[in-house]
């Protein structure tokens, strides 16, 4: 078929639509979600304040993976939604799109609740949990410092679109589909973003304020407990809200941070928009 | 004053990419083609019959009519072309033609006697075409093919193709010494052993302080060509080497100049300038036959460039936004061409076939440097590129009666192998792409003096290799162009009129001053040009052209920035001999007038129009010649380049970050005296 | 340096062909607090002065994740990338200082902004001497006459949202300084200070009250930019 197409091009000397190719979108939570986020050691990134975090569940619903050209012409869009547990070994396939082999500048996806999300590598009970909580993201895990361990089980209902994704390198806009090759693009989820201490500017990873939010001392930090902690009670220079309105407490803050967990091919970025 | 050299007639078979230099003054006339009266062609220089009204040959008499300090000054004789320098005497010029801002060559294919000038995937700008190495005395003529209507026109022939043919005008040894304004000094030596002008050797050494701070430069070049008949064959060899360095003043902020904080000829930014070298060789052979001719050429070019510029000041970083780029390019290539006449149904079918291959091995880097001490950071680009082009083209023409029909096509395959050592998750990438282009033309002779042309052609520009993804089908910038033309040769006057238009499907605006690329979508260009060459009286030459063009984004109708909407050029000279006391003195006076209309700039700005007058007076007695050249005779204060972009030259102060006008100062009045000895 | 490379190589924010220069007026309106603070204090007689040096409009939208340069990618360890904003190209600026009376009233004219058309995303406010706010906070029977300020902030207020496609249409940009938002986090019961001789209570810099004040000053939602068509 491809040979025929090429021959036709040669005969007519005209521009031809390129042959169909495939781009496979996968998702991965990287070592931070699969193995945990360590304490900062020298040049090695990690928590500034001595804490370390591990996840036992990192449930996320991915949907609306879209491939479009520079003019916004959609070549392929993921039907439905899929739920993943990113603590399990990845990467895991999300969606395989077929489209003519050429450059697509606009690629995006969404992390959003969906009552009809399908299971992938996720336990049925966890999928039910996502649906019952109307959640897009559920993180379950614990933070440790010295002999102290604080557990957390947080659900978020944010619906966030990640648009105009770019890889973290030159010319990394969108994706280029090539003839005869299957292209793989990773929708990377950054688990450490929950613990950023700034909504704008340079941020560090911190858990101390969250650990201190455990008001009842049961070593479980709930979102309700985080909601009690006003940012004004925290040191200046930490938990700055920048341009985000109505962020008053740690629950608001971590909920806002959820919007930035979606990335593209590792360190690549997308434009996050509330849905 | 130069001895007159007769014209070459309808020598239409000296091509560029895929086309060969055929041995110069040995025209092949297509059988069955009705030629215009040869009379004007033997008396009026600077014209030739081509396959469109936009094919023009600029001969020695026009080239020598007014002062030319370098090969780029010769390029300025191309109808409608503007060449602007914004980084000192050593960097490639910025070129504008037919509504295109060709930046440093991306839309104009340049070639010297078969040696390609445009550099593919250049770190500074696509198609970077440095002509500073070319010794102007060694240029025998300039062949201009505007548009992209010919099948032999290759990569970067979007607005057109310019080819320099080499040769030395005078037999024997010529030695020249020039000194003039701003301590510009030049030594030239040339040698032509035979009556044929194309076999020669020449060298130049030139240096100067420049007309303002940070403008000093120095350069040495040698260039030689040998054309040798071997039995029925004609063998040709070209060798050349050049090395130079140059300082660059950068750009002046207009508001700083207007406020008196900066002088017109000031420099903005330290440690700017660069160095370049180029070494090249070409070997060719023509094999004539009965009704056909086959030619072959191989060539190699080694070139290096280091370029340091800071156009942004301290806009992005407190230490300054200097950027140093380096490029090392090794080119090897070959061309084969076959020209044949076939008799079909009582008509002569003329066929040209061409094949070409070219490999570029490129090493390029880019790094930031500090304005304070010039210290450079780690490279942000460090790449190796192998770019290979394979080309095949054909033209077939049939000329029944007073008609001529031409149909041609061209195929180009490009392969890229990239190793990006910095900042890429896939450092090794390869890409491949193929394109096909159509060429067509119809000509009609009316009477003895008028010829009409209609032409169509697809042109292209290869992409920047480093921007390609692994496995990507390499995209080309494609242009589709058409033209209606008329040539009129009558009573010692040759006039050519052309109305041209072109469309680019996916145009981009590359603002190389700030390094930004804006995708524009489709764009349209159009215009008209008039070229007149005449010898009204014996010894008096007039050659002029006016080109009007427009260029717009198709969707928004917005004018494209920087292109030259109106360009006029007039060169005139008068030469005669006078006998005094039994001795013959040959004298010449010449004028060159340049007019460039206001050019659109980004954000609705327009540049200032430019008007310049150059003058030349020369006198020769026996083998001794004295030439007095003045450029910018009326000392016009003019801006060679004008740009609109954001910069900041007041670190620590509250300065404007908005796009601002910047300019590069044009040369003030300069005068040079040259003494030449002809032995 | 990294950012330089980023802009030089990738920026699509350079000169565009259909953008043109224009000017537009910038007016400023101070909104007095209309609701109690988060901690239940009712504010009255709020006054003072905010001293700005400049205002600049940028194309970068707020909440755009930061584009990273190749060198960032190379030298930084994984996941060490914070930030959600890149200013991009400047599209407008007013470099005249403004002493803004916080007592409020009718919109005041700051000046004329030199600008170009295009898609605006954010604004940066440059401080001159800073901001000083005085007023009375009342909660039940408790009343605090406060006097506090932030002097000479070193960083401008950047990434203030202003999404507008600026054409050549006539209009005005309005800056509303919302003292309600600016003071909303201040708990005047936690000033860690006592009134001075004039009965004015400063906010101790280590106090939760000052913490809330400073967060309010740097909260970019305290400053709302809107386009007002003529």
* ipTM score assigned to the predicted complex: 0.82
For residue A14, the model assigns a pLDDT of: 37
**pLDDT range class, residue A109, cuts 50, 70, 90:** very high
How many A×B Cβ pairs under 8 Å?
46
Contacts of A199 in chain C (CB under 8 A): 84
Kindly state the helix (H) or strand (E) to which residue C110 belongs, with its residue range: strand C108-116
For residue A146, the model assigns a pLDDT of: 92
> What is the least distance, in Å, from the CA of C113 to any CA of chain A?
23
Range C16-22 average pLDDT: 78
A10, pLDDT greater than 50: no
Q: What percent of chain C has pLDDT over 90?
A: 68
Read off the pLDDT of residues B44-89 as tens digits, 9 standing for 90 and up. 333 445 899 999 999 999 999 999 989 999 999 999 999 998 878 8
Residue B351 DSSP SS3: strand
List, as ranges, residues 102-161 from C with C-beta within 8 Å of B: 114-116, 126
Judged by CB atoms closer than 8 Å, whether chains meet at B425 and A167 is answered as yes
Rounded Cα gap, residues B178 and B674, in angstroms: 4
Q: Which residue of C lies nearest to B323 if distances are taken between CA atoms?
A: C5
How many A×C Cβ pairs under 8 Å?
102
C42, pLDDT greater than 70: yes
Q: Which residue of A lies nearest to C209 if distances are taken between CA atoms?
A: A232
Residue ranges in chain B modelled with pLDDT below 70: 1-49, 510-518, 651-654
Question: Which residues have CB under 8 Å from B134's CB, separation 6+?
Answer: B70, B71, B112, B164, B221, B223
Flag the least confident range among B335-339, B560-564, C3-7, C217-221: C3-7
For residue A72, the model assigns a pLDDT of: 85
Rounded Cα gap, residues B126 and B364, in angstroms: 13
Which subunits sit against C, judged by 3+ Cβ pairs under 8 A? A, B
Tell me which of B425, B463, B555 to substitute to probe the interface with A (most A C-beta atoms closer than 10 Å). Answer: B425
C24, pLDDT greater than 90: yes
Judged by CB atoms closer than 8 Å, whether chains meet at B603 and C21 is answered as yes
Read off the pLDDT of residues C162-181 as tens digits, 9 standing for 90 and up. 999 999 999 999 999 999 99
For the record, the structure tokens of B294 come out as 């086959």
Q: Which residue of A lies nearest to B438 if distances are taken between CA atoms?
A: A13
C7, pLDDT greater than 60: no
More confident of the two residues A262 and A12: A262
Q: Which residue of B lies nearest to C2 if distances are taken between CA atoms?
A: B380
**pLDDT range class, residue C85, cuts 50, 70, 90:** low
For residue C77, the model assigns a pLDDT of: 24
Which subunits sit against B, judged by 3+ Cβ pairs under 8 A? A, C
**Contact C23/B at CB under 8 A:** no
Rounded Cα gap, residues B614 and B67, in angstroms: 7
For the record, the structure tokens of A213 come out as 């939010």
Judged by CB atoms closer than 8 Å, whether chains meet at A269 and C66 is answered as yes
For residue C12, the model assigns a pLDDT of: 34
Tell me which of C10, C64, C69, C81 to substitute to probe the interface with A (most A C-beta atoms closer than 10 Å). Answer: C81
For residue B49, the model assigns a pLDDT of: 59
Residue C168, phi-psi category: left (phi > 0), alpha (psi -120 to 50), beta (remainder): alpha
For residue A211, the model assigns a pLDDT of: 97
For residue C3, the model assigns a pLDDT of: 29
> What is the least distance, in Å, from the CA of B608 to any CA of chain A?
36
Which subunits sit against A, judged by 3+ Cβ pairs under 8 A? B, C
**Contact B473/A at CB under 8 A:** yes
Judged by CB atoms closer than 8 Å, whether chains meet at C16 and B602 is answered as yes
Q: Cis omega (within 30 of 0) on the bond before A37?
A: no
Cα separations (Å) of B556 from A160, A240, B520?
33, 42, 9
For residue B468, the model assigns a pLDDT of: 87
Tell me which of C82, C119, C217 to substitute to probe the interface with A (most A C-beta atoms closer than 10 Å). Answer: C82
For residue B24, the model assigns a pLDDT of: 32
- Closest residue to B473, CB basis, from A14, A170, A179: A179
With helix as H, strand as E and coil as C, how does B192-254 read?
Answer: ECCCCCCCEEEEEEEEECCCCCCCCEEEEEEEEEEEEEECCEEEEEEEEEEEEEEECCCCEEH
Rounded Cα gap, residues B354 and B575, in angstroms: 42
> What is the least distance, in Å, from the CA of C212 to any CA of chain B?
30
Read off the pLDDT of residues C70-80 as tens digits, 9 standing for 90 and up. 333 332 222 22
For residue A210, the model assigns a pLDDT of: 97
> What is the least distance, in Å, from the CA of B471 to any CA of chain A?
5
List, as ranges, residues 433-462 from B with C-beta within 8 Å of A: 434, 436-438
For residue A271, the model assigns a pLDDT of: 83
Read off the pLDDT of residues A181-198 as tens digits, 9 standing for 90 and up. 889 999 999 999 999 998
Taking the whole predicted model, whether its pTM rises above 0.90 is answered as no
- Closest residue to B604, CB basis, from C12, C21, C95: C21
A6, pLDDT greater than 70: no
More confident of the two residues B654 and C206: C206
**pLDDT range class, residue A275, cuts 50, 70, 90:** confident
Q: Which residue of B lies nearest to C22 if distances are taken between CA atoms?
A: B603
For residue B514, the model assigns a pLDDT of: 57
- Closest residue to C8, CB basis, from B515, B644, B658: B515
Read off the pLDDT of residues B569-628 as tens digits, 9 standing for 90 and up. 999 999 999 999 999 999 999 999 999 999 999 888 899 999 999 999 999 999 999 999
What does the DSSP 8-state code read for residue B73?
A: H
A83, pLDDT greater than 70: yes
Question: Which residues have CB under 8 Å from B211's CB, separation 6+?
Answer: B181, B182, B265, B665, B667, B668, B670
**Contact C7/B at CB under 8 A:** yes
For residue C183, the model assigns a pLDDT of: 96
> Side-chain half-sphere of B652: how many Cα atoms within 13 Å?
1
């Amino acid at each position: 078929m491809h040979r025929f197409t090429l021959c036709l091009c040669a005969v007519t000397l005209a521009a031809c639509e390129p042959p169909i190719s495939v781009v496979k979108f996968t998702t991965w939570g990287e070592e931070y979600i699969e193995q945990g986020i360590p304490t900062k050691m020298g040049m090695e990134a990690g928590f500034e304040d001595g804490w370390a975090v591990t996840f036992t569940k990192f449930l996320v619903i991915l949907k609306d993976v879209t491939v479009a050209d520079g003019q916004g012409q959609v070549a392929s869009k993921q039907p439905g939604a899929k739920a993943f547990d990113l603590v399990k070994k990845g990467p895991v396939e999300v969606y395989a799109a077929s489209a003519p082999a050429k450059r697509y500048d606009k690629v995006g996806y969404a992390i959003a609740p969906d009552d009809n999300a399908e299971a992938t590598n996720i336990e049925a009970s966890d999928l039910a949990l996502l649906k019952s909580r109307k959640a897009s993201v559920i993180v379950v895990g614990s933070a440790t410092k010295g002999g102290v361990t604080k557990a957390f089980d947080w659900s978020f209902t944010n619906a966030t679109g990640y648009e105009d994704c770019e890889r973290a390198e030159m010319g990394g806009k969108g994706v280029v589909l090539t003839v005869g090759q299957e292209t793989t693009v990773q929708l990377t989820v950054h688990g450490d973003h929950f613990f950023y201490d700034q909504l704008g500017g340079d941020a560090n990873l911190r858990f101390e304020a969250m650990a201190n939010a455990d008001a009842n001392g049961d070593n479980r930090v709930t979102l309700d407990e985080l909601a009690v902690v006003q940012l004004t009670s925290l040191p200046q220079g930490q938990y700055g809200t920048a341009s985000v309105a109505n962020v008053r407490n740690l629950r608001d803050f971590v909920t806002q941070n959820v919007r930035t967990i979606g990335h593209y091919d590792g360190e690549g970025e997308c434009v996050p928009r509330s849905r | 004053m130069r001895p007159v050299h007769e014209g070459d007639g309808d020598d239409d078979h000296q091509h560029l990419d895929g086309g060969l230099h055929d041995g110069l003054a040995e025209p092949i006339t297509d059988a069955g083609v009705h030629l215009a009266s040869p009379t004007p062609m033997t008396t009026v220089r600077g014209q030739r019959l081509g396959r469109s009204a936009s094919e023009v040959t600029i001969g020695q008499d026009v080239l020598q009519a007014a002062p030319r300090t370098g090969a780029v000054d010769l390029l300025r004789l191309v109808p409608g072309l503007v060449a602007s320098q914004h980084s000192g005497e050593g960097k490639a010029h910025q070129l504008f033609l037919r509504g295109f801002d060709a930046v440093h060559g991306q839309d104009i294919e340049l070639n010297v006697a078969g040696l390609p000038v445009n550099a593919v995937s250049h770190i500074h700008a696509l198609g970077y075409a440095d002509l500073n190495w070319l010794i102007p005395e060694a240029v025998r003529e300039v062949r201009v093919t505007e548009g992209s209507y010919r099948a032999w026109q290759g990569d970067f022939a979007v607005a057109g193709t310019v080819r320099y043919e080499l040769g030395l005008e005078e037999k024997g040894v010529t030695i020249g010494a020039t000194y003039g304004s701003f301590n510009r000094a030049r030594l030239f030596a040339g040698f032509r052993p035979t009556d044929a002008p194309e076999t020669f050797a020449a060298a130049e050494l030139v240096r100067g302080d420049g007309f303002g701070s940070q403008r000093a430069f120095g350069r040495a070049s040698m260039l030689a060509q040998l054309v040798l008949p071997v039995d029925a064959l004609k063998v040709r060899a070209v060798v050349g080497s050049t090395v130079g360095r140059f300082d660059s003043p950068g750009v002046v902020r207009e508001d700083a100049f207007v406020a008196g904080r900066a002088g017109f000829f000031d420099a903005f930014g330290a440690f700017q300038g660069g160095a370049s070298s180029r070494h090249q060789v070409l070997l060719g052979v023509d094999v004539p036959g009965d009704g056909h001719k086959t030619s072959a050429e191989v060539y190699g070019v080694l070139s290096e460039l280091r370029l340091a510029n800071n156009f942004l000041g301290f806009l992005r970083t407190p230490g300054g936004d200097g950027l140093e780029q380096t490029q090392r390019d090794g080119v090897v290539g070959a061309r084969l061409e076959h020209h044949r006449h076939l008799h079909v149904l009582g008509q002569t079918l003329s066929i040209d076939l061409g094949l070409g291959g070219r490999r570029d091995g490129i090493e390029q880097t880019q790094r930031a440097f500090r304005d304070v001490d010039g210290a450079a950071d780690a490279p942000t680009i460090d790449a190796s590129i192998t770019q290979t082009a394979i080309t095949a083209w054909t033209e077939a023409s049939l000329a029944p009666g007073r008609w001529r029909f031409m149909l041609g096509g061209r195929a180009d395959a490009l392969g890229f192998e990239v190793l990006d050592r910095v900042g890429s998750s896939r450092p090794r990438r390869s890409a491949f792409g193929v394109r096909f282009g159509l060429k067509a033309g119809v000509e009609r002779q009316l009477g003895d003096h008028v010829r009409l042309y209609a032409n169509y052609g697809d042109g292209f520009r290869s992409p920047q290799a480093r921007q390609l993804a692994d496995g990507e089908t390499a995209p080309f910038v494609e242009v589709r162009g058409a033209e209606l033309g008329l040539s009129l040769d009558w009573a010692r006057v040759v006039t050519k009129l052309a109305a041209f238009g072109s469309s680019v499907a996916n145009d981009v605006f590359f603002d190389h001053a700030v390094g930004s690329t804006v995708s524009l979508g489709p764009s349209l260009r159009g215009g008209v040009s008039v070229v007149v060459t005449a010898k009204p009286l014996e010894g008096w030459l007039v050659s002029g052209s006016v080109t009007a063009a427009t260029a717009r984004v198709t969707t928004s109708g917005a004018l494209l920035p920087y292109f030259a909407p109106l360009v006029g050029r007039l060169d005139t000279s008068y030469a005669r001999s006078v006998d005094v006391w039994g001795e013959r003195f040959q004298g010449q006076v010449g004028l060159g007038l340049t007019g460039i209309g206001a050019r659109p700039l980004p954000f609705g700005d327009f540049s200032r129009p430019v008007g310049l007058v150059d003058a030349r007076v020369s006198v020769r007695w026996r083998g001794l010649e004295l030439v007095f050249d003045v450029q910018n005779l009326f000392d016009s204060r003019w801006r060679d380049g004008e740009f609109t972009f954001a910069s900041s030259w007041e670190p620590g102060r509250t300065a404007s970050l908005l796009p601002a006008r910047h300019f590069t100062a044009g040369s003030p009045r300069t005068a040079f005296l040259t003494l030449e000895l002809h032995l | 340096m990294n950012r330089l490379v980023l802009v030089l190589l990738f920026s699509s924010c350079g000169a565009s062909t259909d953008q043109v220069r224009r000017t537009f007026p910038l007016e400023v309106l101070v909104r007095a607090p209309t609701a109690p603070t988060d901690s239940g204090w009712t504010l009255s007689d709020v006054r003072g002065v905010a001293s700005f040096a400049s205002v600049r409009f940028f194309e970068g939208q707020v909440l755009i994740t930061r584009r990273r340069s190749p060198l960032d990618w190379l030298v930084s360890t994984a996941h060490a990338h914070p930030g959600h904003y890149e200013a991009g190209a400047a599209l407008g600026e007013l470099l005249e200082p403004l002493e803004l009376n916080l007592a409020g009233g009718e919109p005041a004219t700051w000046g004329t902004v030199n600008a170009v058309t295009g898609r605006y995303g954010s604004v940066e406010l440059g401080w001159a001497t800073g901001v000083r706010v005085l007023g009375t906070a009342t909660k039940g029977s408790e009343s605090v006459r406060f006097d506090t300020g932030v002097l000479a902030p070193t960083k401008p207020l950047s990434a203030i949202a202003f999404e507008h496609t600026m054409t050549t249409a006539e209009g005005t940009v309005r800056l509303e300084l919302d003292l309600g938002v600016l003071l909303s986090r201040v708990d005047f019961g936690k000033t860690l200070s006592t009134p001075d001789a004039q009965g004015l209570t400063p906010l101790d810099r280590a106090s939760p009250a000052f913490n809330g004040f400073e967060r309010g000053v740097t909260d970019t939602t305290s400053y709302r930019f809107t386009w007002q068509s003529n």
